[in-house]
A = this chain, B = another copy of it.
Amino acid sequence: MERITVGFLGCGNIGCGVYKLLETYGEEIFRNEGVAFDVKKILVRSLGKKRSWNIPAHLLTDHPDEVLDDPEIAVVMEFMGGEEPASSYMIRALEGGKTVVTANKMALASNWNAIVSAAREHGAGLYYEASVCGAIPVIRAINDSLQANRITSVMGIINGTTNYILSRMSQEGAAYEDVLADAQKLGLAEPDPTADVEGYDAAYKLSILSTLAFHRHVPVECIYREGITGITPLDVQCGKEFGLTLKLLGVAKEEDGKIQARVHPTFVRSSHPLAGVSDAFNAVYVNGHACGEMMFYGRGAGDMPTASALVSDLIKAAHTKRHPLPAVNDVPCEIAEDWSCVHFVRMKAKDEPGVLALVSGQFAQYGVSISSMVQKGDRDADGYVQVIFLTHEASERAVRSALAALPAEKVCIGSIIRVEGE
Contact = CB atoms under 8 A, between A and B. Distances in A.
Interface string A11-37: 000000100010001001101110000
A294 interface: yes
A147 B312 contact: yes
B147 A32 contact: yes
A32 B327 contact: yes
Nearest to A304: B290
Interface residues of A, number: 56
A140 interface: yes
B319 A305 contact: no
Contacts of A147: 29, 32-33, 311-312, 315
Contacts of A28: 150
Among A129, A273, A277, the one with the most B-chain Cβ atoms within 10 Å of its Cβ is: A273
A144 interface: yes
A129 B144 CA distance: 11
B291 A308 contact: yes
A145 B33 CA distance: 12
A350 to B, nearest CB: 42
Contacts of A40: none
A321 interface: yes
Given A25-B150, A33-B327, A295-B298, A145 B309 contact: yes
A308 B144 CA distance: 11
Interface string A272-296: 0100111000000000111111111
Given A276-B273, A297-B297, A298-B295, A290 B31 contact: no
Contacts of A148: 21, 25, 29, 307-308, 311-312, 315
A298 B305 contact: no
A82 to B, nearest CB: 24
Residue among A33, A129, A147, A309 facing the most chain B CB atoms (10 A cut-off): A147
Given A129-B145, A296-B296, A316-B144, A290 B137 contact: no
A52 interface: no
Contact of A304 (B144, B215, B291): B291
Q: How many copies of this chain? A: 2
A299 interface: yes
Contacts of A33: 147, 327
Contacts of A135: 288, 290-292, 294
A322 interface: yes
Contacts of A311: 147-148, 290
A146 interface: yes
A329 interface: yes
Contact of A291 (B271, B290, B292, B298): B298
Contacts of A324: 319
Contacts of A209: none
A149 interface: yes
Contacts of A321: 321-322
Contacts of A309: 145, 291
18 contacts: A25-B148, A25-B149, A29-B147, A31-B329, A141-B141, A145-B312, A147-B315, A148-B307, A148-B311, A149-B308, A271-B278, A273-B277, A273-B297, A291-B305, A292-B298, A294-B297, A295-B296, A321-B321
Given A135-B292, A289-B304, 18 more contacts: A25-B289, A25-B290, A29-B148, A32-B329, A137-B137, A137-B140, A137-B146, A140-B140, A140-B145, A144-B144, A147-B311, A147-B315, A148-B312, A276-B276, A292-B299, A292-B304, A293-B298, A293-B299
Interface of A: 17, 21, 25, 28-29, 31-33, 129, 134-137, 140-141, 144-150, 215, 271, 273, 276-278, 288-299, 302, 304-305, 307-309, 311-312, 315-316, 319, 321-322, 324, 327, 329
The list of the 4 closest CB pairs from A to B, nearest first, reads: A137-B145, A148-B311, A135-B291, A294-B298
